[in-house]
Amino acid sequence: MLVLFETPAGYAIFKLLNEKKLSKTEDLYEDFETPEKASSIVKLKHFRKFTDTAEALAATTAAVEGKLCKTLKKVLKKVVCPDLKEQLLVADAKLGNAIKDKFSISCVSNNNVQELIRCIRSQTESLLSGLTQKEFTAMALGLAHSLSRYKLKFSPDKVDTMIVQAVGLLDDLDKELNNYIMRCREWYGWHFPELGKIITDNIAFVKAIKVIGTRENTANTDLSDILPEDVEEKVKEAAEISMGTEISEDDILNIQNLCDQIIEISSYRNQLYEYLQSRMMAIAPNLTVLMGELIGARLISQAGSLVNLAKHPASTLQLLGAEKALFRALKMKRETPKYGLIYHATLIGQASTKNKGKMARMLAAKAALATRVDALGEDINVDLGGEHRSKLEARLRLLEEGNLRRISGSAKAKTKFEKYHVKSEIKEYPSTSDSTIPEKKKRKHSQAFAEEETEDVKPKIKKEKN
């Protein structure tokens, strides 16, 4: 029997001298305790050293994928093929099948072979002649670094890591911006409380504080670059009659420094959003067209990667992000949620309350198809996403207008459009029910006629009794 032993330095072919040892591997490690004992069980027949790191990297990547590299083919043709009767012991079963298909060599791969190769690895330095331990360690380290760089560069799972990190940072920036702006409004509100009610836009509010400073400077400050003319007039009028307290120059300086931080974070947030848009259109264009950049990026982040998202069925994608609500509903035996992160998509936002569940189900089905095309397809285009979006918009229009198609058994049956009356979803309080004046109920003509007949019948019954 021959043993194929793979090392970072090259390929080695060993001759198994005692084949009976392979059947009893429980105490095999005892026979490899010393180099002398190891040399009595296996003997080196051929060793092919790698010429450089590039050749070692090519051989390793091929072995990981279960394929034959050029170097291994040359070794097998030279050493193993002349002795076709010999069995070849291989550590990897996939590699053994590839060798068997290529050279018609009988390959064996099982737990006993794994144990034998593990024992050979413990005595590699003594069994491989002409290779020092220092040289072997250096080649192993170089191969490990090259393999790591190769996986980082060419792995399709690592490309969308940028999207996951970018959307996470975008959410963090939004939280920080909200905290900073809330603090700035509250802080400056002690001095000029009316300004916060007049200027509702946060960035315009911060820029106005930066330009104005204290409210005494408002009358002499030009705010035309920041605010419209009518809003600017309201600000100047409010500054003259403001009820705020007086603050020092040191206080307004710290508030303006906070405004600088808010403006810088806001500008960086805009740059990051543009970067996220470009990355999403490059990696998942169909999903972006169908659901938008932010929703698509959050779905990828929730799933872990684009490939993982493509593996999810449409039902899982529909509830992605609502796992807590789902398991709570299952535990309490209540209705399960209808949507997760996709609730914020524009198509679902345009639907009415009763149609949101239908749109979520349809959008999740189309998004699952678009994700698989983006992750596994070879051509990068947005034809599928655009086509699905137009179909969903037409379906939404049909649902909202109430034009339902009537399916008939005959092919000649035409679509029947039923009249649909829009019912308002907002319930109004009936003001007439507030009246305390009792209403007189009007009797109907038939009811009055029936009462007169009963009165005529009663005297007749009395006379008969008498």
3-state helix, strand, coil in the chain (%, to 5): 65, 5, 30
Tokens of 135: 């040289």
Range 91-112 average pLDDT: 84
Backbone angles phi and psi of 9, in degrees to 5: -90, -20
DSSP-based three-state secondary structure for 216:
helix
Question: What was the pLDDT predicted at 445?
Answer: 54
**41 CB-side CA count, 13 A:** 22
Percent of the chain whose pLDDT exceeds 70: 84
Which residues, in sequence order, are CB contacts of 17 under 8 Å at separation 6+?
A: 40, 41, 42, 43
Residue 258 corresponds to which amino acid? L
Question: What was the pLDDT predicted at 419?
Answer: 47
89 or 402, which is more confident: 89
Question: What was the pLDDT predicted at 97?
Answer: 86
Backbone angles phi and psi of 96, in degrees to 5: -65, -40
**Alpha-carbon distance values, 450 to 21, 422, 447 (Å):** 114, 42, 5
Percent of the chain whose pLDDT exceeds 90: 35
Structure confidence by residue, pLDDT tens digits, 187-215 = 999 999 999 999 999 999 999 999 999 98
Strand order across the 10-16 sheet: 42-49, 10-16, 2-7, 88-89, 107-108
Which residue from 413, 416, 400 is spatially nearest to 348, judged by alpha carbons? 400
Range 17-31 average pLDDT: 78
Q: Rounded CA gap, 148 and 159, in Å?
A: 15
